[in-house]
Amino acid sequence: MSLQAEEPLVRRLIEIRRRLHANPELSGEEFETTAAIREWLGQEGIRIADYPLKTGLVAEIGGLREGPIVALRADIDALPIQEETGLPFASRRPGAMHACGHDFHTAALIGAAVLLKRREAELPGTVRLLFQPAEEKAKGAAQVIESGALSGVAAVFGLHNKPDLPVGTIGIRSGPIMAAADGFAVEVDGKGTHAAVPEAGLDPLITAAHMLTALQSIVSRNVSSLDSAVVSVTRLSAGTSWNVIPEKAIFDGTIRTFDEGVRAEVRRRFEQVVDGVAAAFGTTARTRWTGGPPPVVNDPRWAHSAAIAAKRAGLAVVEPKPSPAGEDFALYLKEAPGAFVFLGTNGPREWHHPAFDVDESALPHAAAYLASVALQALAELSGEKSAGSEPDEAHAEAVTRA
């Protein structure tokens, strides 16, 4: 038997997702979203936990008996993108859109909360629900951790919708599943001069051009063929006129890596190349790092448990390729072990596209998976069932009834 929400609950979750979709709020500004989540949880009698967050909120289910704490996370923020889906419930806010499907994640976690609330008396511990703000700016997870909401958490789980996986499948892998997303900004200081008299100056454009080329050798010459990395310069600006060699050139971009060792080495070589090329041209340069999240690295034990839970929720488990996108869920995994998974939503477009959408028929799967993984983790942690045991009929039946 699959673990699915019944029809009225599915309809309710779709309604919630559409309401969030129509009213997106950008990172750090999720006030109405937070109020709506609070109201929806309140209607289900779910208690809101008291953690100091400006936006986002934490709720809890269970804890009626002494036991472990398992956390489930959904991110709630939208992106500064003008929506072009043409959906009847498209964004009503110009320049803001749920183009990463965080509306879907939020509705899924509310669905899981409803399913778990029904079993509350039987929970051998506590499920803590993290409705996290500001994921798109990679700030919200740090705020949630700062609020103390990860304290005592034995395992943490989350999911991201995945447009290239079909509905009914879930992508689970042990080890890295999403990349470290480091940002850089380099400022090259030269000496301005007349374009016709370059020898009187120090050209920051020529320097920057050599830097851009040399930086592309890091991946090909310093990263093992068995590892991977991306160095992308995405913006370059310098100069104001055709006959002036300017004082400065500025460029920025991002580095993506899946391993902390590779990450450190790429960053070290990056600075070495920038400083070395600047010196070769007599200019000076500064590299400023905008710290993105580290790689999302799944714990093997909990990735295994996630797969058991997913099968119990009626999902087909596949091993996905890691995504080079970043996710601040990585920070939770530094606090407690856990697993982050990709849930198939069969979307027409990739994340962050103005026509991004999810197949809503994946919503009950997402809710069921989250409820199932919390039950599985609590059962394992409280010693009632160990990972890898035969499917527990009582558990499956209990969850089915939920």
Q: Which of residues 131 and 281 has its CB atom nearest to Zn ion in the complex?
A: 131
Q: Which of residues 77 and 203 has its CB atom nearest to Zn ion in the complex?
A: 77
Angle (deg, nearest 10), helices 393-401 and 300-312 = 60
| Residues ≥6 apart with Cβ < 8 Å to 78 | 24, 25, 26, 91, 96, 97, 98, 99, 100, 102, 103, 136
CA distance 231 to 222: 12
Q: Which of residues 100 and 377 has its CB atom nearest to Zn ion in the complex?
A: 100
User: Which of left, alpha, beta for 152 (phi over 0: left; psi -120 to 50: alpha)?
Assistant: left
Locus of tokens 């949880």:
41
CA distance 47 to 63: 11
Nearest residue to the partner Zn ion, using Cβ: 100
Q: Provide, rounded to whole angstroms, the least separation between the CB of residue 306 and Zn ion.
A: 18
Q: Which of residues 255 and 343 has its CB atom nearest to Zn ion in the complex?
A: 343
Q: Provide, rounded to whole angstroms, the least separation between the CB of residue 143 and Zn ion.
A: 16
Q: Provide, rounded to whole angstroms, the least separation between the CB of residue 352 and Zn ion.
A: 6
- Write out the two tokens for 322: 């890691």
Evaluate the CA torsion angle 45, 47, 52, 58 in order and state its sign: negative
Q: Which of residues 159 and 266 has its CB atom nearest to Zn ion in the complex?
A: 159
Q: Provide, rounded to whole angstroms, the least separation between the CB of residue 325 and Zn ion.
A: 7
Q: Which of residues 129 and 308 has its CB atom nearest to Zn ion in the complex?
A: 129
Q: Provide, rounded to whole angstroms, the least separation between the CB of residue 49 and Zn ion.
A: 24
Q: Are residues 173 and 319 in contact, defined by beta-carbon separation less than 8 angstroms?
A: yes
| Residues ≥6 apart with Cβ < 8 Å to 324 | 178, 179, 230, 256
Q: Provide, rounded to whole angstroms, the least separation between the CB of residue 203 and Zn ion.
A: 38
Q: Provide, rounded to whole angstroms, the least separation between the CB of residue 116 and Zn ion.
A: 23
Angle (deg, nearest 10), helices 204-215 and 260-280 = 150
Q: Which of residues 124 and 320 has its CB atom nearest to Zn ion in the complex?
A: 320
Binding site for Zn ion (CB under 5 A): 100
